Amino acid sequence: MAFSKDFLWGGATAANQCEGGYNEGGRGLANVDVVPHGKDRFPVCLGMKEMLDFEEGYYYPAQVGIDFYHHYQEDIKLFAEMGFKTFRLSIGWTRIFPNGDENEPNEEGLKFYENVFNECHKYGIEPLVTITHFDMPIHLIKKYGGWKNRELIEMYKKLVTVLFTRYKGLVKYWLTFNEINMILHMPFMGAGLMFKEGEDQKEAKYIAAHNELVASAWATKIAHEIDSNNMVGCMLAGGEYYAYSCHPADVWASINKNRENIMFIDVQARGYYPNYALKMFEREGINIGITTEDKEILKNNPVDFISFSYYSSRCISTQGNVEKTSGNAFEGTKNPYLKTSEWGWAIDPLGLRITLNTLYDRYQKPLFIVENGLGAKDTIGADGSVNDDYRIEYLREHIIEMDKAINEDGVELLGYTPWGCIDLVSASTGEMSKRYGFIYVDRDDQGNGSLKRSKKKSFAWYKKVIASNGTDLD
């Protein structure tokens, strides 16, 4: 079986995990900059530990990342050598508006991304741009409280208007918010949220999510008005919750956990809140502050396509005495039928096919897999090689299931961008040792290393996959 001739093979990164240059080119300080490596990383991500500037005794990996800011030409050339048709990257909000609420954008920041996009086009690579990938100016957190404040909608509208205008003709594919459902799991990174003692955290998260959903709809409207060729997508941290057993309580629990994640995509793809969400708000006494204008903008501006990350499936049980495991910040029940990665994430290629079918059956909109990959500790051989056959096996098995979803099930899939096509900082742990890339970057968990790039075995393998349009996976 073959993929369509215009299928978009590529790879994915995020500014906060690779770009660096945090204090260069007029850039302002962002939430992602001050999330440290180590034991305090998750309290900060959860909004339970206030860290709005650098503090002594911590290492902050986003300050340098892998220094894509100075290496982008070298990196994009390597992507082109692999045959990339598309490259997913993100905008650092504070490169464009250092504080977030300025009247005029930062020209140095705009020029940087213009140079990156032009470099992509030099090799025939189509940029796929995430507008907000866990990225927010610290100033907006201090002054407004992050996405809990509706005033951020207007600031986001200003940001996207600048982006769509400046990059008209350079960027066609846009994603509004990365993994929007992660607001529930990493609220500081997802929406710049911090919580005070006694605050209703659940309501705060859903208020912030609603404001992002409205902002996303505005972005879709503005994108289409500025350039009718623009295609705007939403983005989900995907992966089905399986019922651990056929006990009806387990099945019902899996339905509810899947709804918790898919609710955000229901709104962006369909243009309204589903009844199950409205009933949940009613039960919980949550007031998201929805207005008549909000309802109209959501209704009239659904996204053009749905993108998602997929690393693993999840499992849930209502019964006691079951083993727990992790996976992309989602703790759940260990699935006894699946192997796991070094970080305890279930490896489930068939789950990708299941997720593709679930989403396509639900929305009947084009899909885009914008993250998929295996985090692993790579070993460098004496000759400098990295023989990452485990990564090749993981990706091969997922591409096989992707192929089946397209050619046997009829799913409409635009493209595939494996995560961390070049090694970068892990969002969940802040580690460099949790590597995903086809390209090895000499940097360790403490920030040491030359930043030298070198090709792994998977580099040549993925090059062959793209050249054969997915027919040669050996």
Q: Are 211 and 150 in contact (CB under 8 A)?
A: yes
Catalytic entry in 119, 371, 401, 431: 371
Name the residue with tokens 């050339």. Answer: 77
For the beta carbon of residue 169, count every other beta carbon within 10 angstroms.
Answer: 9
User: What's the one-letter identity of residue 208?
Assistant: A
Environment class of residue 408 by beta-carbon count within 10 Å: exposed (0-12), middle (13-18) or buried (19+)? exposed
236 alpha carbon, distance to own chain's centre:
8
Q: Are 355 and 362 in contact (CB under 8 A)?
A: no
Residue 413 sits at φ, ψ, to 5 deg, of -125, 125
In angstroms, what CA-CA distances link 152 with 100, 158, 208? Answer: 9, 10, 10
In angstroms, what CA-CA distances link 469 with 115, 321, 389, 399, 408? Answer: 29, 46, 20, 11, 17
For the beta carbon of residue 382, count every other beta carbon within 10 angstroms.
Answer: 5
Q: How far apart are CA 416 and CA 75, in angstroms?
A: 19
Name the residue with tokens 């070198």. Answer: 454
The angle that helices 201-226 and 292-300 make with each other, rounded to 10 degrees, is 50
The pair of structure tokens assigned to 62 is: 């986003």
Our answer to whether residue 371 is catalytic in this structure is yes
Q: Following CA atoms 128, 130, 133, 138 in sequence, which dihedral angle do they give, to the nearest 10 degrees? A: 130
- Comparing CA positions, the residue from 340, 347, 328, 337 lying closest to residue 394 is 347
* Region label for 231, one of left (φ > 0), alpha (ψ between -120 and 50) or beta (otherwise): beta
Q: How far apart are CA 181 and CA 77, in angstroms?
A: 33
Name the residue with tokens 């990257």. Answer: 89
Q: Are 58 and 96 in contact (CB under 8 A)?
A: no
Q: Are 283 and 275 in contact (CB under 8 A)?
A: no
Q: How far apart are CA 356 and CA 413, in angstroms?
A: 9
The pair of structure tokens assigned to 233 is: 């997508």
Alpha helices in 167-200 (DSSP H): 187-191
Residues annotated as catalytic are: 371
